[in-house]
Amino acid sequence: MIRRLGDGRVTVNPFIPPTPPTRSTLYSWWCASAHPLVDARLRELHSDCANTVAVARPVCLASGKCCHFGAHGHILAVTGLEALWTWREAGRSLSPHAAVTARNAATCPFLDGTHCSIHSARPTGCRTYFCDRGDGRWQSVLSEKLHSAIIDLHNQHAIPYLYAEWTWLVEHIAHAHATGVLSEPLES
């Protein structure tokens, strides 16, 4: 999938899957996101992440720049499980139209001015990325460690795994929410 950066350069986004998640997969993520062990583990990982960030002390001016993905040249990728956990934890719905508009603008739909409107529920990728990268190594190590732990979580609970671009996932989740998929029983 081709994407255009803010400076006009064109690049390939490797995190746009060729096909959307099925209704069954979306519902599986939705159910798994509420599982007490899954929920507890994600919160534990977020807490570990906060501890590491507190030691590294990157400068964050809360400018919101990194949430304008196109202009900033940043790709935020998350797992489907985490995307649904964030959706549930944020307790907010987003219309499909708003999700599509934000995606077309290459901006996070949850950015409110320069602030994250779902800060306590934001996905791991938002917790590990800082414009102030220093030598960048600690962020890469932290990201990989958390991603590996989330893959383990998928494996432990037999959760379908997909790692994809955030606004692409949010668009499909918003549509699933609007069409009742997240409240449907799984088809047998």
Q: Which one, 29 or 110, has the nearer CB to ligand SF4? A: 110
Bridge partner list, 10: 4
Q: Which one, 121 or 159, has the nearer CB to ligand SF4? A: 121
Using CB under 6 A as the criterion, what x/- string covers residues 74-93 for binding ligand SF4? --x-----------------
Work out whether 164 is an interface residue with ligand SF4 (CB under 6 A). no
Among 29, 85, 110, 168, binds ligand SF4 (CB under 6 A): 110
Among 126, 153, 162, 173, binds ligand SF4 (CB under 6 A): 126
- Read out DSSP for 121-157? G--HHHHH--S--TTSHHHHHHHHHHHHHHHHHHHHT
Helix axes 36-56, 137-156, angle to 10 degrees: 170
- Where does the chain have alpha helices with state H? 23-33, 36-56, 69-72, 80-90, 96-104, 124-128, 137-156, 166-178
Rg of the chain over Cα atoms, rounded to whole angstroms, equals 16
Work out whether 169 is an interface residue with ligand SF4 (CB under 6 A). no
Greatest C-alpha distance within the chain: 51
Work out whether 108 is an interface residue with ligand SF4 (CB under 6 A). yes
Work out whether 116 is an interface residue with ligand SF4 (CB under 6 A). yes
φ, ψ of residue 186 to 5 degrees: the values are -65, 140
Work out whether 49 is an interface residue with ligand SF4 (CB under 6 A). no
Work out whether 71 is an interface residue with ligand SF4 (CB under 6 A). no
Residues that bind ligand SF4 (CB under 6 A): 67, 76, 108, 110-111, 116, 118, 122, 126
